[in-house]
Structure 1
Amino acid sequence: MFRNLRITVFIYYILTVAALMAILYYFTSITEVENTTLLLFTLLGLGLFAGAIISKLSIDPLFEHVTNLQNLSTETLHELNLPISTIKTNIHMLKKGLESEKDFKRIARIESACEMLQQRYNELDYMIKLQSSNITYEEFDLSELVKKRVEFLERIYPHIEFELQLSPHVIKNDKIGLSKVIDNLIDNAVKYSRDIHKISIRLQDHSLYIEDHGCGMDEVELIKIFDNYYQSNKNMKGFGIGLSMVKRFCDANAIALNFKSKPNVGTTVILKFKED
């Protein structure tokens, strides 16, 4: 599709330039028109007309393609909501008839997996809204948001001890996007922790600190962490795109993002929010 589009635009551009040069040559060399002002306005008008045609040839197919993708994403997202709701409803019903502790553990794992699907659903919904610039900024207590995200992640990582020191701090921001950022940073902290399964999170002085006691990074690794697909530890699962997304969100929302890390000691991520 795009190859044919490039060829079409290129051919039309060459023909337009050739036509304008031919018209210019005809009026200056053959007919020897003396009114250069009229000639220039004529050429300008033809150039603008040709530019409008080229723009239409370039933009319309892309616009149609993007619109189709957005419609497909929206429809797919809508279809995902039904099975997630069905799973949640049946889990709730199954819990009532369970007696075995093993069965409760199995249901808990299914419930955690369902919550992860719900999280992915929310992220897809957020990405669609982000593309359409339909993001809502609202006032909320950042400490409460952090608590909710930790409660969610505790069910996924029950072996991790979360130490929280949170003071109330009301901000106005993109709540859904910031939730994704916090989840990503805590998830990274968990993945890169070693034998000390403890994550310290504190909120003070307009700043959020997320500290792990894992493998840490040196100066060279710190420079590369925002590159897409970069992972300081190749044995870790994931695609290495999370921190680049975090960086884009922080830049777009005036949040200062800093890393402090030492090899074999751990890493501290600092999100500094602007003061109102």
Structure 2
Amino acid sequence: MNLSKKTFLYSITLVTLLISLIIGYFIFMLPSLYVDRMKKNYFDEIVRVQKHFIRDQNYDSIKTSNPTGTFSFSIPEEGDSIFVYNTYLSMEVVIDDSQLLELFHDTREKLLAANEGDFDVDEIAKQKFDFNFEYIVQLIKKACTENKELPIHIEGLQVIDTNEFTQVSEKYTLVGEDLVVCQWDGTDGSNYYTSYVACSIKNGRTLITLLPVMTPRMSEIRPVVLQSLPMIIVVTILVILLATQGFARRIINPIQKLAYHADYVKKTGNLEKEKEIAAGEDEIALLSQSLNALYEQLNQNYQELEKSNLLLQEQNERQEVFLRASSHQLKTPIAAALLLVDGMIQKVGKYSNSETYLPKVKEQLKSMQRMVEDILYLSHCEGNMKVELIKVEEILVACQASYLIQLEEKNLRIEQKIMPVCVKADGEILYKIIDNLVSNAVKYADCNTKICITLENNTLYIHNKNEGIPLELLPNIFEPFVSSETKEKGHGLGLYVVHYYCKLFGYQVKVNNVAGGVEATLKFI
């Protein structure tokens, strides 16, 4: 499954989960929160109404959610009257019935007794208020049907007492120091009701406020929630899909760029890194950075491999040319040696004097030996180099010591200025490079002259006095078997060896004609 399908599946799962959570919230939690909120509002309302009534003992500044059903009663410590207050009326109720007066006095005494000392909610809850509701109902019937003093006559009054009300709960709460709120919850089987009764005693008066309300039900808000669910679901799906689409593009686009770049690299072989495929610090950005680092490393390795291949190709070509030239150069001393040997064997003319020509044969054989040794040395040292830190001045002193006899024979003196220089190289090869330069300086220097050797600033200068190198040889001075036509003529491999190994180590070597002689310059980089 590709990343797009995985992202789509993730989106569907996320949408389903969020919709389930939203539906569960609106069906189960929101109605419960609504009911709790309404109960708290009703409780706060009766506390507010009671505090205003304690302060003003009227309803002039009181606003309630149920103005017709909210009443406050003021009961004096003495007397048979009850003062009733409402948003729309205020009146004094005088109790004339003796039995009702006895019930009234008993209730007032219990409230006053509970108020003695600290206002204790538990003490009020313990009081038993035995109201004879049956007697009160009969009294109301009699007053409405038989009281002839009333200005109207009422017939057919029927008070239906089905006794369907059931108490659900009862709770007393102390608010402040002198206010008690009783919350009574009941039901008639169809609806639930809550009656809040606030009771206080102030300046010898018992103040009571009644607030009957319908208890809010979760079923009241559930239809509203169900009606709004389609819109909520559509909006939620739209928002989530848009957010997921943007999220998917942010993920997929960089990955597509990485894939296209990898395909481009595969087809073209171009290992250059792609710039800013993905910015940031997330996993895709890290992947992009890692791939760029990989491409860069592969590119460097590829370039190094190309350089190595070019170098190897160059070496192969050089070795092929070298072998051809060396085989040609070896023919001359071999032919000369054979000619001398045949002349001595057959005693032809002057060659019959073997004592004179045998040393010449030996000289030709030594020339071939030196040539073969140089060839073998080139092949051997290239694969057995041991790079270490070498003091150049020590190598230079050792090379000079091996030419003391030649210096004496030609009456040469050496003037030198040597400063400490350390380079990383193979000691044997570095000795071979410097020895060839010193050997050429001694070999081609005019007698009774001086050789100037200077070592400073990572550079070696060797200057000798002679007629100089023929101009036609200078461009090819480092080619194999190139040598001047003088009596000191060598086999032509010395400077070739020097140039070969200087190139291998990255050194720079130059041989130029200067005023009064030749100067060789070796720069250690």
Aligned in 2, Cα 1:262/1:167: closer, same or farther, shift over 3 Å?
Answer: closer
Q: CA deviation at 1:196?
A: 3.9
Identity percentage of aligned residues: 27
Q: CA deviation at 1:164?
A: 1.5
Aligned to 2:390: 140
Aligned to 1:210: 462
| SS across alignment from 1:220 | coil
Aligned to 2:518: 267
**Equivalent of residue 153 in structure 1, options 403, 407, 412:** 403
User: CA offsets, 1:174-221, max 9 Å, x none?
Assistant: 111111111111111112111343111110111000110112125432
CA contact 1:190–1:197 (8 Å) conserved in 2: no
CA contact 1:196–1:213 (8 Å) conserved in 2: no
User: CA offsets, 1:77-130, max 9 Å, x none?
Assistant: xxxxxxxxxxxxxxxxxxxxxxxxxxxxxxxxxxxxxxxxxx99x979955642
Aligned to 2:351: none
| SS across alignment from 1:223 | helix
Aligned to 2:452: 200
Taking structure 1 as the reference length, what is the TM-score of the superposition? 0.50
Aligned in 2, Cα 1:152/1:124: closer, same or farther, shift over 3 Å?
Answer: farther
Runs of 4+ with >6 A deviation: 122-125
Aligned length: 154
Aligned to 2:429: 177
In 2, Cα distance between equivalents of 1:230 and 1:127: 17
In 1, Cα distance between equivalents of 2:447 and 2:395: 28
Higher relative contact order (CA 8 A, sep 6+): 1
CA contact 2:406–2:442 (8 Å) conserved in 1: no
Aligned to 1:244: 496
User: CA offsets, 1:45-98, max 9 Å, x none?
Assistant: xxxxxxxxxxxxxxxxxxxxxxxxxxxxxxxxxxxxxxxxxxxxxxxxxxxxxx
Aligned in 2, Cα 1:125/1:226: closer, same or farther, shift over 3 Å?
Answer: closer
Query: Aligned runs of 1:29-178 on 2, under 5 Å?
Result: 127=378, 129-131=380-382, 133-158=383-408, 159-178=411-430
Aligned in 2, Cα 1:238/1:269: closer, same or farther, shift over 3 Å?
Answer: same
Q: CA deviation at 1:160?
A: 2.3
More helix by share: 1
Aligned to 1:188: 440
Unaligned runs of 5+ in 2: 1-369
User: CA offsets, 1:252-275, max 9 Å, x none?
Assistant: 110001122147x1011000011x
In 1, Cα distance between equivalents of 2:446 and 2:485: 12
Unaligned runs of 5+ in 1: 1-118
In 1, Cα distance between equivalents of 2:413 and 2:467: 17
| SS across alignment from 1:157 | helix
In 1, Cα distance between equivalents of 2:412 and 2:387: 32
Aligned in 2, Cα 1:231/1:128: closer, same or farther, shift over 3 Å?
Answer: closer
Aligned-residue CA RMSD in angstroms?
Answer: 2.7
